[in-house]
Amino acid sequence: MENTVSLKINGIPVTVPEGYTILQAAKEANIEIPTLCYLKDVNCIGACRVCVVEIKGRRGLVASCVYPVEEGMEVLTNTPAVRKSRKTTLELILSSHNKKCLSCPKNNHCELQKLSLEYNVDEDRFAGDEEFPEVDDKSPYIIRDNSKCIKCMRCVAACKKLQSVSVIGAIRRGYNVHVGCAFEESLNDAPCVGCGQCVVACPVGALTEKSQTDKVWEAIADPDKKVVLFTAPSIRATLGECFDMAPGTDVEGKMVAAARRLGVDKVFNMNFTADLTIVEEAHEFVERVKNGGTLPMFTSCCPGWVKFLEHYYPEFIPNVSSCKSPQQMFGAVLKSYYCEKEGIDPKDLFVVSIIPCTAKKFEVTREEQFALGMPDVDVSLTTRELGSMIKEAGVMFTALEDEKFDNPFETASGGGEIFGATGGVMEAALRTAAHILDESLEVTDFVEVRGQKGVKEATYTVGGVKVNVAVASGLANARQVIEDIKSGRKDYQFVEVMACPGGCINGGGQPIQSDSVRNNVDLKALRSEVLYTSDKNNSIRKSHESPVIKMVYDEYFGAPGSEKAHKLLHTTYVNRKK
């Protein structure tokens, strides 16, 4: 039986498990203590001192995020001393903060801004630096503006703890401490994988994606361009949050209607190329199993994961599926098959992807994927960027009636829909691979690979073939899986990896939620449920059964793994290890 501790918080009796912090106990009493450096499952260091509280009978204030509860303890969270301390702390933080809030991408989503308003701070009470550090905007995916950094170290913790990459850290000490890469190099020159988990961890505007919405507006206004836009599987599960809708709301129909009102020519469903990726990848896997190919085979749809492997484990490049990601496949299909079918010069087609990911901004620049001598995708936008464009266009998102995707890429399978959740790629691939190995097999649900656990394992026997599979989300977990394979501790044949914990539904380009939501709501589970519900209600559950997939093979590619398919839908990788 679990040991418990009884205490009082603001006079309210609370009983919580032994080992809880005061911050956790306060939540049980429905009391919210403000935080800045604390982020559940990411960072808990008691550094910012915003969460301080009083304990009766003790001198001084303590940081509630790290202070453990004790039997009989009496905590006070709202005394004059506590409020004064928090206000002074916020004013000191603001003394060295670049207060250009109106043009900051985190405006209205900034934790410092929110707390400053709540505590009625004087933003100019303390004089600070007049010169700010140079902005690092050299990478294609992330902008780092240390003039807005509050030294909470949440980005550092996300990079180290969740991703095991650790390309950023604290430099110098005391007042002069700042966050940066080794030898003060740019993120563009460091072995950063572009996952964006630092961006969603940042409580202020110090880290943001590199916005490219201006390029899209310019293309829409160009009469010589045909602009087509497609949305990744997870976007319908998260875009509503940009408009204050509850997490876990499926907004597919409103998303299509809103995107259409931006002025683009077509709005397509990227679930189609999630299906296409699955068909190519499943056939590649079966070929490797039957013909003694390199195993285990790793999935290749996540560019953050692929770049991680290129930087840190290039010896495993032969293990990565040669399939492009669904984003890149769609661009290649649009600039070949679709342009031929519609009589469009590929140079006049401007392709825009809406993706939950910052690493995709790098992926579109990979020259080894320019099958037609040009980028497959012209611009990759995050969910947040699409949300900002919809707002800028004056579209009343929540009032929109549902609309459907444009043909010929409207229809997709349930396998394509679950692509955005950890385990979804593996499950969809197993549905098709199992069919290839044994056409009589009716199994559709592979539930063992579902869920938010960092590493999931399962063993399946199909058509006399035994397959050990692993699913990892978060690069720290991916590193664990790779080390297990290297040491011989594990024997897998098929491995799915997604760089972001929980998969694309928790990607670095997804909507920014307040700390009060992130620390208390299971966003990954709520968002994933949208995708699994959609899969369950889809009459087509397997990628190879989609009529659109059959159409593109019959009319253009011939068969999975064909010469034309390899030219347009497959790629190579780069050893980036220094």
Q: What are φ and ψ of residue 382, in 5° steps?
A: -80, 170
Which entry of 209, 266, 504, 528 is annotated as an active-site residue?
A: 504
Between the CA of residue 308 and those of 327, 466, 476, what are the distances in Å?
Answer: 18, 29, 11
Counting Cβ atoms within 10 Å, is residue 516 exposed (0-12), middle (13-18) or buried (19+)?
middle
Contact assessment for residue 449 and residue 426, using Cβ atoms and an 8 Å cutoff: yes
Rounded distance, CA 253 to CA 312, Å?
Answer: 41
Q: Is 504 a catalytic residue?
A: yes
Rounded distance, CA 222 to CA 244, Å?
Answer: 32
Contact assessment for residue 36 and residue 514, using Cβ atoms and an 8 Å cutoff: no
Rounded to a whole number of angstroms, the CA Rg of the chain reads 25
Which entry of 64, 321, 336, 546 is annotated as an active-site residue?
A: 321
Which entry of 48, 101, 110, 301 is annotated as an active-site residue?
A: 301
Rounded distance, CA 544 to CA 562, Å?
Answer: 16
Residues 6+ away with beta carbon under 8 Å from 313: 482
Give the SS3 label for residue 144. strand
Q: Is 301 a catalytic residue?
A: yes
Q: What is the number of other CB atoms lying within 10 angstroms of the CB of residue 567?
A: 13
The alpha carbon of residue 115 and the mean position of all alpha carbons in its chain are separated, in whole angstroms, by 26
Which entry of 368, 392, 483, 563 is annotated as an active-site residue?
A: 368
Which entry of 209, 280, 363, 496 is annotated as an active-site residue?
A: 363
Start-to-end C-alpha separation, the chain: 52
3-state secondary structure 341-356: HHCCCHHHEEEEEEEC
Q: What are φ and ψ of residue 68, in 5° steps?
A: -75, 150
Which entry of 284, 310, 417, 496 is annotated as an active-site residue?
A: 284
Rounded distance, CA 518 to CA 475, Å?
Answer: 20
Q: Is 563 a catalytic residue?
A: no
Which entry of 160, 324, 360, 524 is annotated as an active-site residue?
A: 360
Contact assessment for residue 197 and residue 500, using Cβ atoms and an 8 Å cutoff: yes
Cis peptide before 296 (omega within 30 of 0): yes
Q: Is 368 a catalytic residue?
A: yes
Between the CA of residue 438 and those of 96, 137, 173, 428, what are the distances in Å?
Answer: 65, 51, 62, 16
Q: Is 360 a catalytic residue?
A: yes
Closest to 278 measured CA to CA, from 260, 301, 253, 262: 301
Cis peptide before 408 (omega within 30 of 0): yes
Q: Is 284 a catalytic residue?
A: yes
Return the structure tokens found at 90: 């916020």
Which entry of 54, 209, 241, 281 is annotated as an active-site residue?
A: 281
Greatest CA span in the chain, whole angstroms? 80
| CA within 13 Å, CB half, 222 | 14
Between the CA of residue 496 and those of 188, 191, 299, 421, 465, what are the distances in Å?
Answer: 27, 22, 5, 11, 19
443-458 exposure pattern, b = at least 16 Cβ within 10 A, e = fewer: ebebebbbebebbbbb
Q: Which residues are catalytic?
A: 281, 284, 301, 321, 360, 363, 368, 504
